[in-house]
Chain A
Amino acid sequence: MEKIYVYPASDRIWHWIHALSIAMLIITGIPLHFSSLRFMSLPAAVKLHTFFGLVVSFDFILYLLNMFFYGSIKNYLPRKSDGKEAILMAKYYLWGIFRGEEEPFHPRPGHRLNALQKPAYLVVMMILVPIQIATGILIWKASGAEALLNSLGGLKTISTLHLLNAYLLAAFLISHIYLATTGKTPSYFFRVMITGYADED
């Protein structure tokens, strides 16, 4: 079967760094939040959480640059066929996949995301992640940003928002990893995201 080059190396490196960091943030966030699940010391968890938080922040800047200056935004732009495609994808995930039907969408350059992925990723990358980064930085630098913190409702409000976001991102990550197993084979999308090549239709 012919292969098409969908994900350039820069995108793939960015993706895996981002994935690893988000996973590490969740892992190190557990001992910070649940004292009964403290499998590492609090200072170690704080240091690692801060480190991976900074990595994600830097990664997010790259994401924005890639989106707005290197054209990856076109993957998120709506198309006329999106409505129909969304229904097809929903039907596929809710029934067709169980019957072994072929996935109605195949990624290709400039059109890497299906009609359900586009809004989901936009919500995550344009709302949840920025909020998480902003609240994380405010918590990290709480002693130097008291006026700002107070104007936003105080450290506890910001921490609560960070926590809520963390739960939503964790839920998204679980769904994202699972849906990555719904390709032609369970490892198909992982392979695509590693090699950059997808099968031609």
Chain B
Amino acid sequence: MRRNLAIFSVLVFSFAVFLVRAEGEKSPPKKLTPVTSRDYSSVPTMHPLIKLLDEDGRPVLKTGKPISTRKTCGQCHDYDFITTAYHFQQGANEWSVEWGYKNKETGSISPGMFGRQYDYPYYHMTPPQWKKYGFLFEYGRPNWALQCGICHLGSGPTEFSFYGKRLDTIPEDQVKELDPDFYYWDRKENVFRKWNWKRSGVREANCLVCHTPNYSKGIQDQRTTGHGMFKTPHFSSSTSAGLLTTDIVKKVTEDGRVVYNPRAFYSDGTLRPGHLIISGSFARKDACLQCHAAPVRNGHVDPWYNYPVVRTVNRGVLRKGFVWSGKNISETQDNIEGKEKLNFPWDVHARAGLTCLDCHVMGNSPGRKKEGKTWSSTSFTEYLKKPDHNFGKGHPLTWRVRTDLDFTVKRCSACHDARAKGHDWLPEKELHLKKVSCETCHMPKNHYWMLNSFNFALPHTAPFSKGVKAEGACGDAPQRFTVLGVKGNAIEDPNAKIVGFYPLYIPRNLEKNGDEKIVPYAITFSLHWVDDATGGRVYFSQILNAFFVRKEGVWLPKEEVLKVFDANKDGKIDDEEALFDTPEKVALGQKLLKAQGVKDPQLEIVAIPNTLAHNIAPKEQAIKSCDACHSNDSRIFNRGKYSRVIFDRPVLFKRSYIYNVDYRGIEIARVENGKTVWSNEQLLKDFHLVGAMGPEAEASHILKAVEVLGLVVVVFTLMGVLFHIVGRIIVPKK
């Protein structure tokens, strides 16, 4: 009996242990302790538990290798299909050596950020066979990955070569000297170096940046570029590094090894529930804001400006002062001038709870109507397999990627019928609605700051301020820049007042086959050299070697440059001194650049326009005064507005135009009262604004002549009458 009881007891105990172990395998831990202060364990998600896999398809828990999204997310989703979207490709799948020639942009090799000449950073993307096509080597793929990788989501140009081969699989013996897929120019040292893609790995698409709310893009950036908590750049581990804010990843080493927390995984490498929130098709609410706009956090717009911020930040802020928040401006930070009167939200649509995807609709999402009319015919099963990540886009002037997708963003008319209500007070309602975009009146002023101008004609390389080395926006491009919308020293004084800025206006069609309308833009201006013999911008390396000399590891201005530019003789060239406002400065610049092989160096000012379709004010704040536009002080021509000042000095540029081939040949800048200012009279020469004759006459000699002639006729008639009256009075009668 005792024996039987003992056997029974052992059996019961063994079964109990088995049950406990089995339960332990299935149940989530009782208490989750995420590293972040916010607890995401309660965030609802329908996403099933996933196994995190490395590039070989094995569980990372066992190998300690970085997470591969191609293998991990690719278990269910079509990674290759998703990453053809323009956010990943940035024009890399549209590159061609002839692109620049075909589009009158000598030196550009694609319509997007990967390959189109741009101003931050200022570079020429080096294509394969660059010597054959007359390029200089300036910006290899590693340069792009290290600088643009901060914003770029991975895949496309950071995963594949120009010829579509995965970069870390190309054998060493196939890499030729100065192959732009492998070599990069180290501007600081002025040497070409070879990048080891096998050591750094490639940057696959980082799905987690947008789809996990507890992910840190900031740490991912540090891992990508090798700053902050990392000393060296490493690409393949960058996705895993962003999980350091969770309890999934404990450590990422300099050489790219990842230490995972086994408590977060089941034994087969599947993540336990609650550790990684994957927020499905709607992404995280602030997903887009990480690159495209600033949110308001704890009563402050994040980020506020300062030099490091300008260097790394959020292009939506740099390019157009884009703040996406439903909070009142008056409830935001103290250094916004007159904020007590700004008792309305930063964006009325953010206040209403809209998300980015409500307007920038996904190509095939079955949950959304396409262009507001028909439901997508894609089934959920098909959509989950192949979600089209080409978000609805407008018709931007700056980037021309995937123009076949232009006009797919939902415009105001998708939700609002401006003709049906609310605009009956407007004289000539139909004409106004036809010729003026909604944003023109409903975005009267932007209350944040943006970059106003760059000077690449004479960059600075001396220490900038407070010991910060001269490293410009996006890494090591040492451009000089000015900020618009801040009163005082925007760089050094954190208490300087934000005064905001007024939009500048360009005629543009916002709908397919639509009318050309007056549209507000935030425009950053760039002053740079162009070689008129080729039509291409002068290479940065030519500028650097023309104006500077390398001494003891530092680039310093040449003596002859200091002699002409350093007016206050302090041994350095200040930002204002660096502007080419005298014939002597221009002549010296041309002489030095010719010595570097530039045949016909000339100065250009280019306007880089960014559409202002956000920061929409409530209707009470919309412009309702006719005089605002229909007067000689017309805001459409930015008369009397500081926003039109490009440089505080009269720059002697040869030509100016808008950064888009459609606007070549139309001058957009001029010197006025000792300043270089924006001038859109030529752009708007086909528009007629009643009452704005003053600005309009500046674009039309005929109009100016008529104005003068008409007044002369009337004045002479009045004088004739006067003389006649006097004659009738004073001449003695017969």
Residues of A participating in the B interface, judged by any CB pair closer than 8 Å? 31-36, 38, 41-43, 46-47, 93, 97-101, 139, 142-144, 154-156, 159-160, 163-164, 166-168, 170-171, 174-175, 178
Contact = CB atoms under 8 A, between A and B. Distances in A.
Contacts of A93: 724
A160 B627 contact: no
Contacts of A154: 686
B49 interface: no
Task: Give the residue among A43, A97, A167, A175 with the most B Cβ atoms within 10 A.
Answer: A167
A92 to B, nearest CB: 12
For the complex of A and B, the 7 pairs showing the least CB-CB separation, nearest first, are A167-B710, A35-B631, A100-B733, A98-B731, A42-B626, A143-B431, A171-B717
5 contacts: A47-B427, A93-B724, A98-B728, A142-B428, A156-B700
Contacts, number: 105
Interface string B671-706: 000000000000001111011111010001011001
A97 B728 CA distance: 7
Nearest to A35: B631
B511 interface: no
Contacts of B692: 35
B686 A171 contact: no
Given A42-B630, A159-B688, A160-B703, A99 B710 contact: no
B703 A156 contact: yes
Interface in B627-673: 627, 630-633
Nearest to B431: A143
B35 interface: no
B48 interface: no
A35 B717 contact: no
State the main secondary structure of chain B at its contact with A: helix
B709 interface: yes
- DSSP class of A's interface residues: helix, strand, loop or mixed? helix
A82 B707 CA distance: 36
A41 B731 CA distance: 46
**Range class of the B interface residue count:** 35 or more
A98 B727 CA distance: 6
A158 B692 CA distance: 15
Nearest to A47: B427
Contacts of A175: 717, 720-721
A137 to B, nearest CB: 14
Contact of A38 (B631, B707, B721): B631
B556 to A, nearest CB: 53
A116 to B, nearest CB: 14
B690 A32 contact: yes
B331 interface: no
Contact of B718 (A32, A168, A174): A174
A126 to B, nearest CB: 20
A143 B517 CA distance: 13
A167 B693 CA distance: 15
B691 A42 contact: yes
A171 B707 contact: no
B434 interface: yes
Contacts of A163: 703, 706-707, 710
Given A36-B632, A41-B626, A174-B721, A155 B691 contact: no
Given A38-B631, A99-B733, A167-B713, 7 more contacts: A34-B691, A35-B694, A43-B626, A46-B428, A46-B690, A163-B703, A167-B710
B231 to A, nearest CB: 62
B717 A166 contact: no
B734 interface: yes
Contacts of A97: 724, 727-728
A170 B718 CA distance: 10
B46 interface: no
A139 B431 CA distance: 10
A40 B721 CA distance: 29
A167 B714 contact: yes
A160 B686 contact: no
A41 B434 CA distance: 23
Contact of B734 (A34, A43, A99): A99
Nearest to A186: B728
Contacts of A178: 721, 724-725
Contact of B431 (A32, A36, A47, A142): A142
Nearest to B731: A98
B560 interface: no
Contacts of A159: 688, 690
B38 to A, nearest CB: 53
A144 B429 CA distance: 12
B567 interface: no
Contacts of A43: 427, 626
B634 to A, nearest CB: 8
Contacts of B430: 143-144
Given A33-B691, A163-B710, A174-B714, A42 B700 contact: no
A35 B714 contact: no
A103 to B, nearest CB: 13
Contacts of B724: 93, 97, 178
A144 B428 CA distance: 11
B713 A171 contact: yes
Contact of B711 (A98, A144, A167): A167
A105 B717 CA distance: 23
B627 A35 contact: yes
A29 to B, nearest CB: 10
Given A43-B626, A142-B431, A164-B706, A155 B714 contact: no
Interface in B58-92: none
Contact of A156 (B434, B694, B696, B734): B696
